[in-house]
Structure 1
Amino acid sequence: MPTSIITTDDLREFKFELLDDIKKLLTKQASGKLKKYLKSSEVMKLLQISPGTLQNLRINGTLPYTKVGGIIFYDSDEIQEVMLSNRIHHKID
């Protein structure tokens, strides 16, 4: 497994990408464009995560979900709460 070195520039870029994603999520919700309940594929697209990452978030209890007849739904309000509660404030010089 190759080793990758993460620089402060990489972290800064990741921070800005994540903040942009959160802003988009909040803007969609504020404008009423975001549905109340999202399917797994919609959550993966919204958060730009893989199916495995989404499964891990379910398994470890990070992301609440509801299963109805084999289909998994996520409450968009709960996704927003998870994003805000896991927000990390760093000072980057």
Structure 2
Amino acid sequence: MSVEIITKEDLVLFKSELLSEITKLVKPVSQSQSKQWLKSTEVRKLLNISPGTLQNLRINGTLRYTKIGGTMYYKSADITKLLEGGSHA
């Protein structure tokens, strides 16, 4: 049985490659929508996250939103920043 050691640099490289691949997958969707504002359901589908995770992103300030009536809207530019690795959208 061979043992492979994973270094911190390996994990950083993996993160970079993963974000790059996710960005490639998301950009065609974002460009075709050309919407400035997205609803919660659209954001959840785009990021493949649960309603609870989206709520946590709102609560901890990672993802800004605007609430109009009972509907929450998110700037598509903020979603893009989040996917590209910006810790605060």
- TM class by shorter chain equals 0.5 to 0.7
Q: Distance in 1 between matches of 2:20 and 2:48?
A: 13
TM-score using structure 2 length: 0.68
Unaligned ranges ≥5, structure 2: 1-5
Residues 1-59 of structure 1: CA deviation (Å, up to 9, x unaligned): xxxxxxx6xx75xx64x543321222333x34242111111111110001110000000
Instruction: Indicate the RMSD between aligned Cα atoms, in angstroms.
Output: 2.4
1:17-56 matched pairs, under 5 angstroms: 18-29=19-30, 31-56=31-56
Q: Which has the higher contact order (CA 8 A, sep 6+)?
A: 2
TM-score using structure 1 length: 0.65
| Number of equivalent positions | 75
Q: Distance in 1 between matches of 2:66 and 2:45?
A: 18
Tell which structure's C-alpha radius of gyration is larger: 2
C-alpha change, 1:34 and 1:21, in structure 2 (3 Å) is farther
Are the aligned partners of 1:21 and 1:47 in contact in 2 as well (CA < 8 Å)? no
Unaligned ranges ≥5, structure 1: 1-7, 87-93
